[in-house]
Amino acid sequence: MARAAQVLAAGGVVGYPTEAVWGLAARPEHAAELHRRKGREPGKPVQVSCPDVASALAWARPSAALEALAALWPGPLTVVTAAQPACPPDLAPGGQVGLRVPDHPLARALLLAAGPLATTSLNPAGLPAALTRREAARYALADLLLGEAGDPEVPPAPGSLASTVVALPGRAGDPARVLRAGALPTAQVRAVLAGVGLVLEAAP
């Protein structure tokens, strides 16, 4: 973890396992490096992964819906919501920030060592996300991969899904929307939001 923190502080990129697919992380001020490594267009959103709920909520404007969904963290849920004014524009295009608190020992150890990080799935643009350390190594996008080959904590099982992505509404009366169906069942998210009077629209 000390080596990973050094790589990140120097502007590098670290690959790490999550309870969903493998992730790629950079310091928030170096978020553009994730786009460069993946070959994706600049300005495409990345998420902010945090070690705990309190640090995730600090990036966003408070809302009852966000507080309710925070009960599902740690876990494979990314919430897109209104960002705090101090959130860097690279992480909050259009004033919206995507937040995640992963539930994986190595991912959480990385975030505890390095602080909240700009993250995205570990894959070149247009290709499937890495599900195992071998796949992550083959893509060769990271300066450092966490874990050792064969470490039982490292791989999600083949067939794992990415995190479920839910966007909270910007205006009263609008529904929340599923931007990506993923590892967290949509029904679970819908039930939580119903508790604060918010309707959830499924992904098209």
Look up the CATH number of the domain holding residue 162: 3.90.870.10
Per-residue burial over 52-71, b if 16 or more Cβ lie within 10 Å, else e, is: ebebbbebbeebebbebbbe
Taking the C-alpha atoms of residue 184 and residue 75, their distance in angstroms, rounded to an integer, is 8
**Over the stretch 38-82, which tens digit does the pLDDT of each residue have?**
998 777 788 999 999 999 999 999 999 999 999 999 999 999 999
Strands of the 117-121 sheet, one edge to the other = 144-145, 14-16, 23-26, 117-121, 47-49, 96-100, 77-82, 164-167, 176-180, 200-201
- High-pLDDT (> 90) share of the chain, %: 76
pLDDT of 6 strictly over 70: yes
Structural domains in the chain (count):
1
Residue 79: domain span:
2-201
**Over the stretch 107-158, which tens digit does the pLDDT of each residue have?**
999 999 999 999 999 999 999 999 888 999 999 999 999 986 555 555 555 4
Contact yes or no for 59/87 (Cβ under 8 A): yes
Instruction: Choose among 85, 57, 97: nearest CA to 73.
Output: 57
Q: Which residue intervals of 10-49 are DSSP H helices? A: 32-38
Q: Name which residue leads in pLDDT, 151 or 31.
A: 31
